[in-house]
Amino acid sequence: MEITDVRTERIEVPLDRPLGVSRDRSLDARGAAFVVVETDAGITGIGEGVGPESYIVERIVEEKYAPLLIGEDPLDIERHWQSMVTDTVYQDRKGQGLSAASGVDIALWDIAGKHHGVPVYRLLGGPMEGSLKPYASDLFWQDPETMAERARSYVDRGFAGVKTHLGRGLDADEARVAAMRDAIGDAALMVDMNCGYDRPEARRVGRMLEEYDVYWYEEPLTPYDVDGLAALRRELDVPIASGENEYTKWGFHDLFEADAVDYAMPDVMRCGGITEAKKICALAETYNTVCSPHCFTTGVGLAATMHVMAASPACEWLEFDPTDFEVYEPLFETPPTIADGRIDLPEEPGLGVNLDEDVIGEFRVA
Ligand SMILES: [Mg+2]
């Protein structure tokens, strides 16, 4: 089998409700760069690289990686990872080059699953269990009552945990944490600061979170401040989560060596794809650290994340977007169902996703 084409499909989906996060930042659209790998066997692989600037991922995939891959056997996945990421003298150690390589890598695993006639998690040695535990990842900045009501609705739908996005000051954060805790009873409450605080403020807010039995305290600091994360982890009783802005097993090795995280959050679409996420999960095992991959993306990224998690004993909690995002469940061959706080794995060969024109067509970026 030979690769005959490597290309990207970009989309941008406008949002009815802006997604407010720390420091008064807000998103009013969500984009994605899908990677499509064609073969002479008629098998097509689909992947996704999270930029976040999808035009940069597109340019890297089509101009840098496609020439390395066309004419090659798509099943030589490890070799292709090396040629994209580590073979050159001028290495792209973190950032969008890794995101682009992640998208290609995921598409190659999709091809491998289709070629062998099994879901990707089987190729990775899974499943560890028949299903995964999702938490509802939403609850962006709004007034406390609205956020509490929304949090309650997710628990009522069967989610055992909910994640919120705060980071706009101690008092404003506390008003929202208190309202949500009150609304969801003893369900898990994860709090994500999206890198919004400096060390003193992160410590003050962390002490407040301890009072509300917060499940984890995500990215309180800039990802550059690994020592600061480690210090917070020592000083606070609330577990620290970080890693969505980290890349490769070497990056996670540094996080683990610094004792900086309780929950490691590699993003399969950024950290180096399925190939690298699997290794990061294994590395987490050696540090007795839980892996809860970051996943705030389309159905393609969700599927890739589910296959990785299903094959690792280090993984807990699937980040799940409960908002009926237009390019989420509709990209699955069989849209996943959530019942009793669990989600079923895709059982089709490969990732179990497609890029139907009637789903992505209206969002395509030319
Ligand atoms: Mg986050």
The tens digit of pLDDT for each residue in 224-240 reads 999 999 999 999 999 99
Angle made by CA atoms 298, 301, 306, in degrees to the nearest 5: 125
The H or E element spanning position 20 is strand 3-20
Token pair belonging to 213:
């039995």
pLDDT at 130: 58
Q: How far is ligand 1, taken at its centre, from the CA of residue 89, in Å?
A: 32
Q: How far is ligand 1, taken at its centre, from the CA of residue 109, in Å?
A: 26
Identify the segments of the chain with pLDDT beneath 70.
Answer: 130-131
pLDDT at 341: 85
pLDDT at 51: 77
CATH 3.20.20.120 domain residues, the chain: 123-357
Q: How far is ligand 1, taken at its centre, from the CA of residue 293, in Å?
A: 10
- Given the candidates 3.40.50.300, 3.40.50.970, 3.90.1150.10, 3.20.20.120, the CATH classification of the domain at 123-357 is 3.20.20.120
Residue 294 falls in the annotated catalytic set: yes
Token pair belonging to 130:
């028949």
Contact 275, 311 (CB under 8 A): no
pLDDT at 274: 98
- Of 96, 86, 113, nearest to 33 (Cα)? 96
pLDDT at 172: 98
Catalytic residue among 80, 115, 165, 294: 294
Cα 334 to the chain's mean position, in Å?
20
pLDDT at 339: 85
Q: Which amino acid is at 282?
A: A
Architecture of domain 3-117: 2-Layer Sandwich (3.30)
pLDDT at 52: 78
pTM here? 0.98
CATH 3.30.390.10 domain residues, the chain: 3-117
pLDDT at 116: 98
Q: How far is ligand 1, taken at its centre, from the CA of residue 311, in Å?
A: 23
Q: How far is ligand 1, taken at its centre, from the CA of residue 243, in Å?
A: 8
